[in-house]
Amino acid sequence: MTRMAPKDTQTVDSEISNKESMISTFEEDMTPEVVSGPEVGQYMDEDDFENSGMTVIDVEDEGESLVAKETSDWLDGLTPDVPQTELPASADPLTHYLARLRYIEPLPADEQQRLAVEFRENDDLRAAQLLILTNLRLVVKIAREYQRRWANLLDLIQEGNVGLSEAVKRYDPYRGVKFTSYAQYWIRAMILNYLMNHFQPVKIGSTRAGRKLFYNLKKAREQLRREGFMATPQAIADMLGVPEAEVVRVSEYLDAPPISIDATAPGHEKTTYGELLPADTDSPEERAADEEATAQLHETIKAFGDGLTKERERSIWFDRMIAEDPRSLVELGNQYGVSKERIRQVEAQIRKRFKQFLISRHGEDVQFEFIQDT
């Protein structure tokens, strides 16, 4: 792997100086408070934040990180000046915080990489602070994914900011992983560690049915009762299209009071709930690399599909070969007035072309197992 040459200090200082005034304006205290402002959404542009999948991990307390310690005071006052006329008088702390973040533009990946090198090679705290500052919107995006589990979004943002500073400390810019991909691991780690200390220490969302029930169980119960039915596990299962056993399993966890993972587990004198949870053995680098590879593969799949010009080929690709609920050969054959065998032949040709397309983008070592003959 080619190592990135550290950029000279003069150039880095020049780039950082362009945003020095921004850092100096962060003065007001933003201690998290309970938030219930309906106007929050209008200050958030979801398209500006990166998406990523949910991953439950466990975090060991290794002490306060160098970056978190040295920038804690700076982070506590993280609120750039915004003309007060742009905010309603009743705006809550979260609304103010999100409005201020709109004025902070994310940095391109190569600039983030240069700042990471500067911090790693020269212990430049200004570079670390700017790296944190320009990724605060990523923290908000990830925190919002877990808002259904915790009413106070600022609590989650605060934990995510700690994870972001930990990522800055630990990130190795020479490992070939983008900083944002790596940072997501630590942001999620700190948020989930916080939630697990105030929520059921069980991975309810480990199955598709579990995730569906997590978000819809309460609504399903209310709808059944409004219609005059008993909200039994079987009735809920029929309404949501999930196994009855999953309804029972998830109901037990969601209906139970929150417990701490530090509490002693039943039947154990010294063992806590947290110690009984399965360990996540993937390193941050491995997880970030996997997520980045998955994202690249999805981009390749989309690019290949967009390049198909014939309607029949596009239909076979999108509606059968990569669809979550693929159409049958017979259905496609009837749609285009050909036999199912002809559809199979076209599918085989598309698969062969995609394999070459995949190799041309990612090399000979790429795994080609996600599109199987059916």
Under 8 Å between Cβ of 9 and 121: no
The whole-number average pLDDT for the span 139-168 is 83
The reported pLDDT for the residue numbered 291 is: 67
- Does the pLDDT of residue 24 top 70, yes or no? no
More confident residue, 344 or 216: 344
pLDDT digits (tens, 9 = 90+) for 274-302: 555 544 445 566 666 666 666 777 788 88
The reported pLDDT for the residue numbered 323 is: 77
- Does the pLDDT of residue 346 top 80, yes or no? yes
The reported pLDDT for the residue numbered 147 is: 72
Range of lowest pLDDT (57-61, 110-114, 227-231, 261-265): 57-61
The reported pLDDT for the residue numbered 96 is: 80
pLDDT digits (tens, 9 = 90+) for 303-330: 888 889 899 999 998 888 887 678 888 8
- Does the pLDDT of residue 1 top 70, yes or no? no
pLDDT digits (tens, 9 = 90+) for 256-279: 555 555 556 555 566 665 555 544
- Does the pLDDT of residue 16 top 60, yes or no? no
The reported pLDDT for the residue numbered 325 is: 74
The reported pLDDT for the residue numbered 176 is: 83
pLDDT digits (tens, 9 = 90+) for 349-373: 998 888 888 888 776 655 554 444 4
Q: What average pLDDT is seen over the chain? A: 69
The whole-number average pLDDT for the span 55-74 is 37
The reported pLDDT for the residue numbered 39 is: 30
- The listed range with the strongest mean pLDDT (55-69, 217-231, 245-259, 337-351) is 337-351
The reported pLDDT for the residue numbered 192 is: 77
More confident residue, 265 or 101: 101
- Does the pLDDT of residue 114 top 90, yes or no? yes
The whole-number average pLDDT for the span 241-246 is 88
- Does the pLDDT of residue 82 top 70, yes or no? no
Share of the chain above pLDDT 90, in %: 15
